[in-house]
Amino acid sequence: MDRFCRVWAVLLVLLLAGCARQVPTLYRFADLPARGSCRIALLPLVDKGSYPRGATILSKVLRSELVSSGHFRVVQEGDILDLYRQLLLYPNRQPNQEQLRIIGGRLGIGLFVGGDILEMRQGQAKGGIAPDTDLTMILRIYDGGTGRLLWSTYHRRQGSHYQKVLHFGRINTVTGLARQMAREVIGLWLEEGMEPCAR
């Protein structure tokens, strides 16, 4: 009987581990436009957390990863901020659909990437123990022509999620964690059918 209970316990653990939610999680609201994802504009991110300059850090990292992936042409940050200024938009708020349509028309882009930082945290190292890092974000893809929401991606990780053996692989900085998570989200988008630029 004892062996029978152990077998069922192991099967239950394997079943629950197999059914665990995968991150990042992609929600589709509409299909991406055909051949419309080569030229992308990264909107200023909205920081709903309390980490100092968290939106700036994640924006720079995300822009860097989009460019370094070699699959997209990203509009310059200054061009976006100039249009925000012309439309009297605050950089810490997402534009509405009509404002996105205007920005997309002026810049001639296929897609916008915007989003929210829900939580960003980097603890202090204490007594030789590595600091805890945590990042929760939602990234959204909007149609550049209509301003309509197409995809939304939820991603949450801690630096310890990448730990392999002892302390190896652990990510101890918010910037490093943001970089790894941005790569995962971009990889998911490409797997799910986001068309890269033609070479």
- Of 127, 125, 104, which Cα lies nearest the Cα of 114? 104
What is the greatest pairwise CA distance in the chain? 74
∠ Cα 56 193 15 (to 5°): 90
> 63 pLDDT exceeds 90?
yes
Residues 6+ apart with CB under 8 A from 37: 72, 110, 111, 194, 195, 196
Burial class (CB in 10 A: 0-12, 13-18, 19+), 54: buried
Per-domain residue ranges of the chain? 24-191
- CATH domain 24-191 topology: Rossmann fold (3.40.50)
Percent of the chain surpassing pLDDT 90? 47
For residue range 87-108, list pLDDT tens digits in order: 999 988 899 999 999 999 999 9
For residue range 170-191, list pLDDT tens digits in order: 677 888 889 989 999 999 999 9
Q: What is the 3-state secondary structure (H, E, C) of the chain?
A: CHHHHHHHHHHHHHHHHHCCCCCCEEEECCCCCCCCCCEEEECCCEECCCCCCHHHHHHHHHHHHHHHCCCCEECCHHHHHHHHHHCCCCCCCCCCHHHHHHHHHHHCCCEEEEEEEEEEEECCCECCECCCEEEEEEEEEEECCCCCEEEEEEEEEEHHHHCCCCCCCCCCCHHHHHHHHHHHHHHHHHHCCCCCCCC
pLDDT computed for residue 17 by the predictor: 43
pTM of the model: 0.81
CA torsion sign for 21, 43, 123, 65 is positive
Average pLDDT value for the chain: 83
